[in-house]
Every structure is written in structure tokens, then in C-alpha cells.
Chain A
Amino acid sequence: MQSEYIIEMLNIRKEFPGIVANDDITLQLKSGEIHALLGENGAGKSTLMSVLFGLYQPEQGVIKKNGEVVTINNPNDATALNIGMVHQHFKLIDVFTVLDNIILGAEDTRMGFLQKQEARKKVEELSRRYGLKVDLNAKVEDITVGMQQRVEILKMLYRDNEILIFDEPTAVLTPQEIDELMATMKGFAAEGKSILFITHKLNEIMAVADRCTVLRKGKYIGTVNIADTTKQELSNMMVGRPVQLQVEKKDANPGDTVLEVKGLTVPSKIHKNDAVKNVSFQVRSGEIVCIAGIDGNGQTELIHGLTGLEKTSGGTITLCGKDISRGSIRYRSETGMSHIPEDRHKHGLVLDFTLEQNMVLQSFQSSRFQKLGFIKNDAVRAYADTLIEQYDVRSGQGPVTIARSMSGGNQQKAIIAREMDRNKPLVVAVQPTRGLDVGAIEHIHKELVAQRDAGKAVLLVSLELDEVMNLSDRILVMYEGEIVGELDPKTTTVQELGLYMAGAKKAEGGK
């Protein structure tokens, strides 16, 4: 008898020392459905998927495919069962071409020589059929994140996988790319493939999923039909308390100018053109200024030029009345800038350091944490404990946890704790909520508003339209390295903002 479910994980329990990561969790995936797996960071989603992939063996519970019990001891077993996964952090080889990455591990060979022609045809066919545009000859390091994700998806399709798992697939995508991905996923489901969609973005679940299973702190909360539920209900299930989805804030009360940027120009590392062209703007104390725009329009370079990570080729930056245009990174940050970086793994954290070592990354040289060059371990530990408590940073072993082993949301919380506690007049936050769940986003939004209300100048870079509209007091839209418009979120619409972002509209002078 054919079971209704293609994959069932029944009563799964997985323990780690000191923590029950999965406690009696049941997940049943119907054939041809899009099933969302919702939960906060650390709720046990990744552990559950690792169990499905044979990376961990559960203490209790069984996995069934088409109603029959299967044992999955390693990822090869999972592959043999036609289960494929797009990981949150892509597993691609940067210096290989797209085609080589797709066939890697499933290459055809004849007498020891690679046979790529057949593979190329198959991939091209798949790419056409599902509208997954990729350049097969490009090297992965040269293509956009969105295209890298399409490569990952093609990898699964190339292996004829029936069960497709997407782990936080939209965390790294632009709004347009997200729409495309959603359409692709629907297409797969229509063809009878079963999709498990791990996420914490409620909008996306409402848009594509048929059913949703919610986990909280390792426990199974329930499975609901999307047609019968609301965003608010889902988020309450996930967080365990009523969550504010809308940011609550008073009107801004801007004060003196904290940051003044005049004619800033930053050369591009990739192209001959400047990535940032003659950009001028100000940020005053007590306001949140948001730089909106589609990814890759110079926002990263603007922030790098501002913080000193990249050299600028023109213009002046004045922070708290001091010209910092030529200052070192340290001088700039000491003058009055805290910086929540865009890439938390590259810039935000030393992943192989412990949490407490990361907490003092900016401040280890202050007399609070060192005496005559010797680090005061007790002071560092006490400080880390305070921040962990205050910002609710969750980790396996507290201050001595290796940062690499923490979940993305908690890594970000650690960075935010460190930067906020430095208490500088200017807060530069670049995509601070990227890849985070509603609970954490709510927390970070409140924190940024609190910083504003405390008289800080907040410069926010965001790709999320909701965030831009909700949080900012002024919006500057960047398009191809220029600021093409300044908008007031109270009087503008998402549609108008979209037009500016797409370059279809342009204000004169763009302050």
C-alpha cells in the first residue's frame, strides 16, 4: 500500500551534552507538497535535518520513506533515497565552473576521462525546463549569490532527487530573486516533487507552503494547514508568546548632524567604474536613515569606504565634527562609530575564537580588559556574561563556546551586543537582520529604535522592503552607485520605492 507520506520522521529524539536538541519531534512530508519547517534559531531545525541526512543518529524515533522504515547512516544513504538539500551556506567550489560543480560527485567517466557533453545537455535541459538561468562556464566565484543558489538547486535536480530540502534559502537573496525562487518551488511541487522548506520568514511560508510544522526549543509544537492560519498565529506558535510584527516607534526627533558625507567616491574592485559615485548625505542624531536598494548597487562599497575597510578615491567624511576621511579603521571607530557588518562570518566574528574573545574584539586594548598588555581574563569573562545575559545570546557552553558552533542568529546577537555596548554616537548597521527569525528581528529592531531614541544616529543598510519602510525615518535609495532619491517613509509607498530602486525614477540632485 502506498503511504500518503513520502517521508516521515516519527518521534525523533536527539540529545547533546546538556541539551535536548530534538524532543519527540514528528515531521510528515506529503508527496507533492511544500512543507515549511518553522522555528527560531536553535529550535532544532538543523539538528532534525542532520538526522534526516544521517549526520546524527537519533536516540529514539524512526524515519520512514513511503511507509517503510529506512535507516540513514550517512549522507550517501540519504542521496540513495533521493533526498537532496540546498544548504544555507552553499557547498560549492569557488574555482570550479558551474558545470563542474553540478556534476561533482556524480560524474560520468569513460576509461577514466570525464564525459561532460551528456552532463552539459542534461543540465541545460533542466535549466530550460525550470527557468533556472545559469552560466555553465562561469566560475562560481564570479557569479552572484542568487545564481549560486540556482547551481545548488540544479545539483539536486541533476541527481534526480524527489525530496528537496531548502535550508533558509532566501536569507541571501534579493526581493526579486526570492520571488523567482518561490515560483520555482511551486513549479517543483506541481511536478510532484516534495519540498521541505526551512525558514523563519512568515511571508514566504504564507506565499508558498501548503502545511507548516512548528518547532520551539527542541519541542514539536504542531502542524497546521497554511490555508487555515495567519502570520500572527504562526509567529505566536514559533516564539511562544504574542509577537509584535510591526515596529512600534515614536516620531523621530533629529538633533545635530553626526555624520556628514560629501562627494564620496569609492572605486570598484571588479569593474573599471566607481562603485560609489560622488555620494553626499547626512545622518543626524536621533534618526534612522536607511540606504535602500537592490543588492550590488554600491551599498557595500559605500559602507566599506565609510568604515575604512576600503580606500576611497574622493570626498570627505566628517564624524562628530572630525574629518575621518583618511583615518584608520581604529581611529574611525574610536571617533564614534560602531559597525554591525554585512558579513558576520567574514568581518563580524573570528569564528575559531570563543564567544568571550569575540565580545572584546573591538575593546581588548582598553584598560578595562588589559593591564600592561596582559588580558584581564576575569574582566573579559564578567563582561561577556553580562552581554550574554542582557542580549540573550544562546550558546552551548556560554562564554567559552567557539563562535563557529553557534547558530547564525546568536552569532548576530553577539555582534550586536558588542557593537551596541560600545555606545558610540553613530551606529552603522548593514543588513542586521539578514537570516534571522522573527523573535530575533523584533529584538534587533527594538534595539535600533532604542538607540535612536537615546540620541544615536543610525545608518541602516537593508535589502528588505518591509524593514526599510517600518524602521527608517528617512530613506536614501541607491542605484548604480548613486543616491537617486530621498524619500519619507510616511508619505511614500512600496511601489514608489521599488521604482527608485529599479532605477526607473530619479530625483534631481538626490541629497
Chain B
Amino acid sequence: MNKGKTLLNSDSSRKVFASLLSIVIGLAVGALVAAIVGLSKDNIGGKGIWDGVRLIFLGLLSTGREAGQLTWGFNPSSWGNMLFRATPLIMTGLSVAVAFKTGLFNIGAPGQYLMGTLATLFIALEIPSEAVPPAIIWLLAFLGGMLAGALWGAIPGLLKAFLNINEVLACIMTNWIAANVVTWLFDISNLKNVAEGTKTGYIYKTTFNNVATSKMGLDKLFPESQVNGGILIAILIAIVVYIIMNKTTLGYQLKACGANRHAARYAGIPDKRNIILSMAMAGALAAGGASLYWLSGNTEFYWITYQALPAAGFNGIPVALLALNHPIAVVFSGIFMAMLNIVGQQLTTLTAYNEYITDVVIAVIVYLSAFSLVIQMWLGKRKAKKGGKTV
């Protein structure tokens, strides 16, 4: 059999194709919804629908509107903002993917993200930058955030390992505990932003203490955007995660425990330790996403979180699903999800539609990702007619 044919028939290419197919269908359904909404509303009209549909597919390439017509081209601000927003998504996506690979469902990413937020902001704002160089504070805040997430993630791991409590339940509980702890601790802190006085309920940006992630030259590439070096750090971490999971004895053990805890135990692999470790790693990654997001210095944290969990945490699940839990693919799916976010923004500013259309797209994609096994099977069956299964 020649190589090209093997590639087409191989399992992994089938998986990639299934993911791409769900993206295309997702966008198409989004366009369909836009059309239906447009037809039922008087203020949109045929041209409005056409603009909306084009933006759903190509929103990233939109440069605005001139003389009533959409204009297209390279929009550095859109690209930069996409990469900025992708950063936490990649990290929470990695978090969920690592747990999945080791047989655990980490639905606790939002809680871990919040604990990362808490530790990062406290460290970044409480250590005076007059006394300690900001770069050191940055590093401490980043590592401190990840450590906090690791400890928080380890709790469901401990419960699972020693008491055999389902990690999904424990994660949901720890999410809400985190939400309340974070609200309470910020409430009694002196970090509430009173300096600007324009809005309430926000914590100082880290730039208040002169701490912010280096731009690493990305602001030259994508001017007028929020992008910073965080995206490069996230990509680097994705590569490290890939290497750990696929090239090291640690990854081997974690995957063995995930795939068959009994066999791992039989071979003398400490199964309990590995379950805890894998949840701690997942926690550290999710929290690292929070650290990179807040350390950008661009954004301020709304501290009254006890009623809502951060979407960045939950969105790690579709990011990981779409990437089929492959760490490198998570980078792309994270960027893709962020792109949908930009598309939503463009829809809101440039048309009569709002950004919720993209929520439909994301929902359809997530739904289809769950179906990706069915799609793979369908693809496999088509090939099976020529003989495509091993004994």
C-alpha cells in the first residue's frame, strides 16, 4: 500500500477530518441561524444577511465598513486580540486534555482558574514593585498561580484516589467553593480598585504595580491589539505537555493509570499518586491560563464571582474535545475558539446581529465533537468496503 493511501486511511487523519467537518457544519448552522433571524426581522434585509453570513465565515479578515460596504484584509487588531483571548483557552484546554488522557474528566477547570486568579493577583499586587524588580514579581505571580491551581486540582484527585469519589462531583463542588473563597478573600483585601472610581467591583490591573507580561515584539506585528507574550508562553507549555505525555516515563505512567488502573497497579505503578498528580497538573495548567490572562495587565478582574464561574474554565472542555485531547492541536482549537469570539465582536459592531450567533456556532461544534466518534466510524465504514480493519 502506498504511503498517501495509508495517510488517508489512518485513524489520526480520520480524527482530524472529523474535527474539521464539525467546524464546517458548525459555521454553516451558524450562517443558517443568521439567515433565519434575518428573514424574520425587518431591519436586516437581504444585504444584512449576506454581510452576517460572510462575517461568520470570514470575520477575522474584516477591516470594517466603508461607504456601506464591508471591507476585507489583514486586521492586525483582530489577529492580536484573537491571540490574546486564545491564551487562557489554550491553557484550560490543555488542562482538560491532560486529565482526559489520563482517564479523568476535569470539569474543575473554572475553580482552578479562579484559584490561579486569586494567587496571581495577590502576589502581583501585594509585593511592592519599588522593592522587588517587576520581572521577579511577574515570575512569582505566574508560578504562584499555577501552584495554587495545582493544589486546588489535587483535592478532587485525592478524593478520587483514596475514597473513590467521582472526580466530576468533586470538581463541581470545588468550583463553587473556589468561587466563594475568591469573592470573600478579595472582599476583605485592599486590592479593590478605588483609584479610578468609575466602576465598582473590580480589582486593580497588575499594571497598577508595574507588573505586566512582556509584549515580546508581538505588538509590532499586531498593533492596536491586546496581544502579549502570554500566547508564546502558552504555546511553549503546550509543547512541553506534549513531550511529557508522549516521550517521558511520567506520561507513560499517567496514561497507563488512566487506561487501566488495575494493570498499572499490578506493574507496581503507584496508581493513587498518579491520579493525584494528573489532577494537580490539570489544575496547574488551568490556573496558568488565569495567570497569563491577568498578568497581561490589560484587563481587570470582577471579583464578585460567587454567582458565576469563569467561562474560560468551562471553554477548556470544547477546546480539548475539538483537539481530540492532543496538546499541540489544543493550540489551534484554542485559537479557533478565540477567533469565533472576534467574529462575534465584528458581528456586533458591523451588523444588526449580536455576538450570540457565535455561541450557536460553538454549541453546534461542541455537539458535533461529541459525535466525532460517530463521524469517524462513518468514515471508517466507507473505507471498510475496501478493507480497512485489522484482525
A494 to chain B, nearest CB (A): 33
In the complex, A16 has a CB within 8 A of chain B:
yes
7 CB contacts below 8 A, A to B, read A17-B387, A47-B391, A348-B263, A353-B256, A361-B256, A364-B249, A405-B390
Taken residue by residue from 361 to 390, chain A's Cβ proximity to chain B (1 for < 8 Å, 0 otherwise) reads as: 110110000100111010000000000000
B128-136, B209-217, B228-236, B265-273: which lies at the interface? B265-273
Interface residues in B255-290 by Cβ distance below 8 A to A read: 255-256, 259-260, 262-270
The tally of residues in B whose CB lies under 8 Å from a CB in A reads 25
B268 touches A362 (CB 8 A): yes
CA distance A365 to B250 in the complex (A): 10
Q: A16-B387, A329-B268, A332-B268 are in contact. List 19 more A-B contacts (CB 8 A).
A: A16-B389, A17-B387, A17-B390, A307-B266, A328-B268, A329-B265, A346-B263, A347-B262, A347-B263, A348-B263, A349-B263, A350-B259, A350-B260, A361-B267, A370-B249, A374-B248, A375-B252, A401-B390, A407-B391
Nearest CB in chain A to that of B9: its residue: A17
B252 touches A21 (CB 8 A): no
| A216 / chain B contacts, CB cutoff of 8 Å | none
Interface contacts (Cβ under 8 Å), in number, total 85
In the complex, A357 has a CB within 8 A of chain B:
yes
| A329 / chain B contacts, CB cutoff of 8 Å | 265-268
| B250 / chain A contacts, CB cutoff of 8 Å | 373
B248 touches A362 (CB 8 A): no
CA distance A323 to B100 in the complex (A): 39
In the complex, A19 has a CB within 8 A of chain B:
yes
CA distance A350 to B267 in the complex (A): 10
Going nearest first, the 5 A-B pairs with the smallest beta carbon separation are A330-B268, A347-B266, A396-B390, A329-B268, A350-B260
A16 touches B268 (CB 8 A): no
| A339 / chain B contacts, CB cutoff of 8 Å | 266
| A333 / chain B contacts, CB cutoff of 8 Å | 267-268
Taken residue by residue from 316 to 353, chain A's Cβ proximity to chain B (1 for < 8 Å, 0 otherwise) reads as: 00000000000011111110000101000011111111
A503 to chain B, nearest CB (A): 31
In the complex, B45 has a CB within 8 A of chain A:
no
In the complex, B388 has a CB within 8 A of chain A:
yes
**Contact of A15 (CB < 8 Å), options: B263, B266, B387:** B387
User: A residues within 8 Å of B by Cβ?
Assistant: 15-17, 19, 21, 42, 47, 307, 309, 328-334, 339, 341, 346-353, 357, 361-362, 364-365, 370, 373-375, 377, 396-397, 401, 405, 407
CA distance A339 to B265 in the complex (A): 13
Nearest CB in chain A to that of B247: its residue: A374
**Contact of B391 (CB < 8 Å), options: A21, A332, A348:** A21
Nearest CB in chain A to that of B246: its residue: A375
Interface residues in B344-391 by Cβ distance below 8 A to A read: 387-391
| B266 / chain A contacts, CB cutoff of 8 Å | 307, 309, 329, 339, 341, 347-348
B259 touches A373 (CB 8 A): no
| B259 / chain A contacts, CB cutoff of 8 Å | 350-353
In the complex, B67 has a CB within 8 A of chain A:
no
B260 touches A349 (CB 8 A): yes
| A353 / chain B contacts, CB cutoff of 8 Å | 255-256, 259
B249 touches A365 (CB 8 A): yes
A350 touches B390 (CB 8 A): no
| B255 / chain A contacts, CB cutoff of 8 Å | 353
A19 touches B391 (CB 8 A): yes
A357 touches B262 (CB 8 A): no
In the complex, B1 has a CB within 8 A of chain A:
yes
CA distance A333 to B265 in the complex (A): 12
B262 touches A17 (CB 8 A): no
B260 touches A352 (CB 8 A): yes
**Contact of A346 (CB < 8 Å), options: B252, B262, B270:** B262
| B267 / chain A contacts, CB cutoff of 8 Å | 329, 333, 361-362
B252 touches A357 (CB 8 A): yes
B265 touches A309 (CB 8 A): yes
A17 touches B1 (CB 8 A): yes
**Which of B266, B388, B390 has most A Cβ within 10 Å?**
B266
Nearest CB in chain B to that of A16: its residue: B391
| B390 / chain A contacts, CB cutoff of 8 Å | 16-17, 396-397, 401, 405
Nearest CB in chain B to that of A377: its residue: B247
**Contact of A350 (CB < 8 Å), options: B1, B249, B263, B391:** B263
Nearest CB in chain B to that of A46: its residue: B391
B391 touches A396 (CB 8 A): yes
